[in-house]
Amino acid sequence: MLPGISVLRRFARRLPMTLCVALLLVGGAHANEPVGYKAAYKVVGKPSLKTQADKQHALFDYFLNNALHGKGKQDFEKVAKQVKNKITWRDDDGKNAYDEAFVRSYAFARTLDLQGMPDTIMLIPCMESQWHGKKGRKSADYGYWQLTPEVLREIQALDYVPAAVKKADINQLRADATLSTRAAQAHLHRYHFYFAKVAGFGESDAWLLTFTAFNWGAGNVKRMLAEMAAQGVKADFSSFYHHLYAVHRKNPGDRSLKAAVEYVPSLWNIAQLVKESR
């Protein structure tokens, strides 16, 4: 995950503690959400690898179907096809790193309190670390969610995060499945709150922008949205993605832009992979 600078830092600190706690408890599928969104949370069947994979896929599919259109959809599908081989590659024993990560993470994910967030968030650590608690460099991206020290210090400074997260040693926190996931949830919640409640994007757009911001940094996403507004472009995830793709094409050597363009398409490929593997 690229560090970036959170645009929500001062905003989050100004929120009253009770309101922040309430925000963390807001469900991803609200009562006034479209029927299809709520239905995606209701994949039937006993808890299993298959039902977990089906639910993650159904939610991601819903987000994409509701958010993508026009040139943004064409660009997204092109990139998803380009990165597919990297995601679906299997070794001589037929094993795939991301599918193995999904299997390893299942025992944890099935008991996780999602705090109303979509199950698709658990695709992130499968891609970031292949669900390994000690992957990466401690001075940079490290642990299950590949959080940086800079990002974690921001999270630990928030009033509403659990005491165990606030007090933990940064390296131990990142290598602990529960603590790192609680920290990542706080990180994702504040991004989603901005895109959904402050910027006013619809739920599908807000979550796809949140996933992008997790990798690229909310500051980068917000600056690009501001550039689009200055050009008179009505922003949604699809137009944002088209703009991001165009900027990347003009700067093919920029690794940050390449990672941002490929991030959500890669997550979508993982969602398809784990569903098709069951």
148 touches 138 (CB < 8 A): no
What per-residue confidence (pLDDT) applies to 46?
84
- Give the tokens for residue 58: 């159904």
Which residues are registered as beta bridge partners of 142? 136, 147
pLDDT in tens, 203-254: 999 999 999 999 999 999 999 999 999 999 999 999 999 999 999 999 999 9
Residues forming a β-bridge with 136: 142
pTM of the shown model: 0.87
- Return the amino acid letter for 270: I
Contact 128/146 with Cβ under 8 angstroms? yes
Question: Is the torsion defined by CA of 268, 272, 277, 278 positive or negative?
Answer: positive
How far apart CA 93 and CA 100 sit, in angstroms, is 12
| Residue 8 confidence (pLDDT) | 43
Six-digit token pair at 163? Answer: 């005491």
Assign residue 30 a region: left if phi > 0, alpha if psi is -120 to 50, beta otherwise? beta
Helices and strands of the chain, counted as H and E runs: 15, 0
Per domain, the residue ranges of the chain are 9-276
Q: In angstroms, rounded to a whole number, what is the distance separating the alpha carbons of residues 68 and 189?
A: 22
The per-residue pLDDT for range 36-93, each reduced to its tens digit, is 666 666 666 788 999 999 999 999 999 999 999 999 999 999 999 999 999 999 999 9
Average pLDDT score, the chain = 89
pLDDT higher than threshold 70 for residue 99: yes
How much is the pLDDT for 161?
94
Residue 18 has pLDDT above 80, yes or no: no
- Residue 30: pLDDT band (50, 70, 90) is very low
**Residues 9-276, CATH architecture:** Orthogonal Bundle (1.10)
